[in-house]
């Protein structure tokens, strides 16, 4: 690269920073894409909200069998993973358009407090997984009495 590359009117340091950031993101996404190129990195889409003593995770998993969904909880992290089978097409058929992913997926989330793994409830209906995760008893704030002298 010569110096004229930097002095031309089309060169912008901000554009170069954006290009570098894109390249770094692509580099770090490559191992994930190699593991499963059928899903975008943010699959499944998830909503996560918390109250004082619980967190609720809601994930869209259309077409996934309930027995192919795994939920694991370790301290303050929950992971939802599983698999969806590819659509079966007749012999000789050719896909003309394909957007629905298939294969393995996994998403993990760090929560605002530790979870009691024995008090996790999961329900799956109409392609939506809802997981209620309760705060561990020993992680809840404790009121400390103040003694007067």
Structure tokens at 91: 């012999």
pLDDT of residue 36: 45
Looking at residue 34, what is its pLDDT? 42
Report whether pLDDT(130) > 60.
yes
Helix ranges (DSSP H) in 36-105:
none
What's the pLDDT tens digit per position in 28-87?
654 444 444 556 667 899 999 999 899 999 999 998 999 999 999 998 999 999 998 888
pTM: 0.66
SS (H, E, C) 50-98: ECCCEEEEEEECCCCCHHHEEEEEECCEEEEEEEECCCCCCCCCCCCCC
Q: In what order do the strands lie in the sheet with 46-50?
A: 46-50, 54-60, 128-135, 115-125
Of 67-81, 96-110, 125-139, the range with the lowest mean pLDDT is 96-110
More confident residue, 119 or 102: 119
Domains of the chain: residue spans and CATH: 4-92+99-139 (2.60.40.790)
As a whole number of angstroms, the distance between CA 100 and CA 63 comes to 10
Tens-place pLDDT, residues 1-23: 555 555 556 677 878 887 888 77
pLDDT, greater one: 26 or 90: 90
CB of 129 closer than 8 Å to CB of 56: no
Q: Is the pLDDT confidence value at 122 over 70?
A: yes
């Amino acid at each position: 690269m010569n110096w004229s590359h930097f002095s031309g009117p089309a060169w912008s340091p901000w554009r170069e920073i954006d290009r570098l950031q894109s390249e770094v993101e692509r580099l770090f996404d490559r191992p994930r894409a190699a593991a499963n190129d059928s899903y975008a990195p943010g699959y499944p889409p998830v909503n996560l909200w918390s109250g004082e003593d619980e967190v609720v995770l809601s994930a869209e998993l259309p077409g996934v069998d309930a027995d192919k969904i795994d939920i694991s909880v370790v301290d303050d992290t929950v992971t939802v993973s599983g698999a969806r089978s590819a659509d079966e097409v007749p012999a000789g058929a050719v896909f003309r358009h394909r957007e629905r992913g298939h294969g393995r997926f996994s998403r993990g989330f760090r929560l605002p407090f530790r979870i009691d793994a024995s008090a996790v409830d999961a329900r799956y209906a109409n392609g939506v997984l809802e997981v209620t995760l309760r705060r561990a008893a020993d992680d809840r704030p404790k009121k400390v009495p103040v003694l007067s002298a």
